[in-house]
Amino acid sequence: MYARANCKRLLTHAAAAAFLLHFGYGPAAAGSLPGSFSGADNSSFCMTADGKCPIMMGDPDLPVVKAKVDWKVGLLVGEPVVDTRLAWTPGSVRGLVPPIYGKADPDLFYKSGEAAAQLRLYEAKARLTVHHGNRTYTIESDLGVPDKAGDKSSYNVAGSPSWNRLFRDESGAFIPAGLAKEIISSGSMERAEAKLVSAKMDTGKFEEWWLDKNVERYAAPLRAAIDGRLAALEESFGLPTDDLRAEIAALKGGKNARTLIGRLEGILQKLAPDRIPAKFLGEGPEKLARLHRYGLRISSTEDALRDATKGLPPMPGASKAYGTWYDQVAVRMNRDAARLAHLQGLKAEAERAEREAAEAERRVQERQTAERERRAAETERQRRRKATEPQKSFSEEFGDPDDDISWGNSGFADTGWGATMNRYVRPGSGTYYSQTQGTYVTPGTDRVCDAERNATDAERADANTEAARSADAALHKCLYGN
């Protein structure tokens, strides 16, 4: 009983490999397999949380992806095989990246070609819709690994679902195997259409690219703020700054803009007011006078840095937690201001700066919490969907071992690729098709190879051991006879 089921399992895995040959990924000619259907359909998908875009005439920044889904559905040894692939282009780059990029770079629309090449889709799925009788049924399929925007299709491998997990009805539930077979045999799939129904956008590479293109917009106000603090330290406290100036002069943008900005931010932190050595501060009225001069000297460059950060995107990878670069650095900048006010004895000013720092921190935590909740909700939605799907029994997965298995007809070996299939299914693995006339054969050599499988599982904890390699070899010999 289990030998036949095991053979069907092996054939199912082999089906996917042979399917690639049949459907244009090998020497077999398209259409050589009876009962195969294919198409290429265009669609648009809105990259919002609910998948819906507001209809706004003339709006060039809708978050839309234009998709072309190539699909093929066929039968291989009587089992359904589905292959879907995606080529895509962005409707608008500005609509698909965080809004701050469009505000910081109004010309981004005109850089769409270079910018679009930096975007990446992932977790993309397609839905094939077919009308049969008076009802509508769908097949949902993963689209593999999409390439960058353009005409090149995604990398994917054909899948072979069970008949009773092939089509869904209008409620989203899987339909029985018998009805699925009826849909395929009726030819209704000839009128099927496919479209992109879900995807996520990775903007990380785009964010790095944009920073490289605009690094001086970040570096210039940072250098000005550093120069302002250095000059203030020299003029107000007589603090030597030659070493820091040499460190700044040695910094080069190079290829990694992010590293440069990080180094400049680190130097600015070294110059925070509370890090001024006590011996340079002085005491009493003299200390307050020096701090007052210091505050006046840095005010213009600090304000310029604050204004610049409000109009620029955060560092790459931080767009989920921060809306702007200011959101990212506001806590530190406001606390620097609070420290200076404390040193000057300006209680009200210090409290105001602390409140602004606390508010900036609250906004960051709020965004981070919202992102965590969004991800948790998505995870729970997927968990509930899987929980409501019917679980496959052994007979649903592999068929009833007591029933005759009909995986084809006598023309199987004459299709030009039947011999290819037979290379995947050896006599030692159980019932199989012979290479002549596609005859279903039970040669009396069925082997489940339970002992060899158990030995392999026991030894596979350390796949590099001689015992593990020996067990794998024994299992291969049992299954394939060589």
Greatest mean pLDDT among 129-143, 245-259, 449-463: 129-143
Same domain, 299 and 346: yes
Decide which of 344, 372, 400 is a domain's last residue: 372
Distance CA 18, CA 424 (A): 8
Which of 320, 340, 372 terminates a domain? The answer is 372
Q: Are 53 and 62 in contact (CB under 8 A)?
A: yes
Q: Which of 201, 226, 261 is the last residue of a domain?
A: 201
Angle, vertex CA 363, rays to CA 357 and CA 364, nearest 5? 90
| pLDDT of amino acid 61 | 75
Which residues face 67 on adjacent strands? 43, 88
Mean pLDDT for 127-140 is: 95
3-state secondary structure of 197: strand
Q: State mean pLDDT over 88-115.
A: 85
Give the model's pLDDT for residue 361.
79
Confidence of residue 30 (pLDDT cuts 50, 70, 90): very low
- Domain assignment of residue 455, yes or no: no
pLDDT band at 250 (very low <50, low <70, confident <90, very high): confident
| Strands of 120-132's sheet in order across | 135-142, 120-132, 193-202
Count of structural domains, the chain = 2
221 touches 304 (CB < 8 A): yes
Q: Is the pLDDT of residue 406 over 60?
A: no
Is the domain of 173 the same as that of 40? yes
- Dump pLDDT digits (tens) for 66-89: 999 999 999 888 899 999 999 999
Q: Is the domain of 187 the same as that of 218?
A: no
User: Is residue 440 within 8 Å of 433, Cβ to Cβ?
Assistant: yes
Query: What distances in angstroms separate CA 383 from CA 258, 270, 380, 463, one per listed residue?
Result: 38, 48, 5, 33
pLDDT digits (tens, 9 = 90+) for 442-466: 333 334 455 555 554 444 444 445 6
182 or 393: which carries more pLDDT confidence? 182
Lowest-pLDDT range, 279-288, 394-403, 450-459? Answer: 394-403
Residue 366 falls inside a structural domain: yes
- pLDDT tens profile 464-476: 456 666 666 665 5
Amino acid symbol at 62: L
| Same-domain status, 224 and 104 | no
Checking 210-215 for CB contacts under 8 A at 24+ apart, the result is 210/101, 210/105, 210/115, 210/118, 210/313, 211/257, 211/258, 211/261, 211/313, 211/315, 211/316, 212/255, 212/257, 214/104, 214/105, 214/312, 215/253, 215/257, 215/260, 215/261
SS (HEC) of 448-468: CCHHHHHHHHHHCCCCCCHHH
Q: Tens of pLDDT along 166-207?
A: 999 999 999 999 999 999 999 899 999 999 999 999 999 999
Average pLDDT over residues 285-301: 87
Q: Are residues 167 and 219 in the same domain?
A: no
- The answer to the question of residue 263 being in a domain is yes
* Domain shared by 63 and 140, yes or no: yes
Looking at the predicted structure, is the pLDDT value of residue 417 above 80? no
Q: Greater confidence, 276 or 1?
A: 276
SS3 assignment for 105-133: CHHHHHHHHHHHCCCEEEEEEEEEEEEEC
422 assigned to some structural domain? no
- Average pLDDT over the chain, rounded to an integer: 75
Q: Could you tell me whether strands 432-433 and 440-441 are parallel, antiparallel, or unpaired per DSSP bridges?
A: antiparallel
Report the C-alpha gap between 95 and 105 in whole angstroms.
13
Q: Are 67 and 88 in contact (CB under 8 A)?
A: yes
Question: Residues 81, 112: one domain?
Answer: yes
pLDDT of residue 144: 93
Do both 195 and 99 map to the same domain?
yes
Helix (H, G, I), strand (E, B) or coil at 329: helix
Give a yes or no: residue 10 inside a domain: no
Residue 22 lies in a domain: no
The range of the structural domain enclosing residue 284 comes to 209-372
pLDDT at 51: 67
Helices H, strands E: what count in the chain? 17, 8
Predicted pLDDT at 58:
53
Single-letter code of the amino acid located at 64: V
pLDDT tens-digit map of 204-218: 999 999 999 999 999
Residue 32 has pLDDT above 90, yes or no: no
Residue 393 falls within a domain, yes or no?
no
CB neighbour burial string for 355-371, b if at least 16 within 10 angstroms, e if fewer: ebbeebeebbeebeeee
Token representation of residue 382: 């997927």
Banded model confidence at residue 128, pLDDT cuts 50, 70, 90: very high
Least confident piece of the model among 182-191, 360-369, 388-397: 388-397
**Higher per-residue pLDDT: 23 or 143:** 143
Q: Which two tokens stand for residue 96?
A: 């698909």
- Do 182 and 223 have their domain in common? no
Name which of 16-20, 58-62, 385-389, 463-467 the model is least confident about: 16-20
Instruction: Give which of 66, 75, 194 is closest to 119, Cα–Cα.
Output: 66
Do 196 and 310 have their domain in common?
no
Is residue 383 helix, strand or coil?
helix
* For the ranges 337-346, 373-382, 405-414, the one whose mean pLDDT is highest: 337-346
- Number of other residues whose CB lies within 10 A of the CB of residue 28: 19
Q: Is residue 424 part of a domain?
A: no
- Kindly state whether residues 181 and 111 are assigned to the same domain: yes
pTM for this predicted structure: 0.66
Q: Specify whether 52 is located in the same domain as 139.
A: yes
Q: Match 């029994």 to its residue by tokens.
A: 393
Cβ partners under 8 Å of residue 474, min gap 6: 452, 455, 456
